[in-house]
Amino acid sequence: MKKFIKNNFSNKNNGESKKSDFENNFEPQNFVDYSAIGIFKLNTDAVIEYANQTLAQILEFKSRSDLIGINFKDELISESTDWEKLRAKLYKQRIAKNFIIPLKQNSGASIFVRVDIRAASD
């Protein structure tokens, strides 16, 4: 995100406008990667396939790549009953909003998070 924060977004050179640094460096994926909220994608086995850097920070991982391959259900959810409740809601409604669950941080501590999650199909 730091590359988006520049003092000037437009440059003038001999009266001609140049593309701004923002325009030159704009990548839509950066909005997801550096969002203020944690974002992740699970496969059907509850294994993390994608995580943004914010989620890594919330869960005290050095980088988002450290989360890839972790089983969300087995390694991050503190109570198996929470997973079953979440899974049942997703199965029935395909969406779970404002679902509060404790997740395990990398240090082993638990942190309560609010999850908005939906089941997607290919």
Average pLDDT for 71-88: 92
Count the alpha carbons within 13 Å of 112 in the hemisphere toward its beta carbon.
3
Is the whole-model pTM more than 0.85?
no
Report whether 47 contacts 67 (CB < 8 A).
no
Domains of the chain plus CATH, in order, are: 19-118 (3.30.450.20)
Report the mean per-residue pLDDT for the chain.
82
Give yes or no for residue 7 having a pLDDT over 70. no
Which pLDDT does position 11 carry in this prediction?
Answer: 45
Average pLDDT for 69-74: 96
Q: How far is CA 89 from CA 12, 73, 97, 110, 112, in A?
A: 55, 15, 10, 23, 19
Q: How far is CA 74 from CA 37, 54, 69, 81, in A?
A: 22, 21, 12, 11
Which pLDDT does position 21 carry in this prediction?
Answer: 63
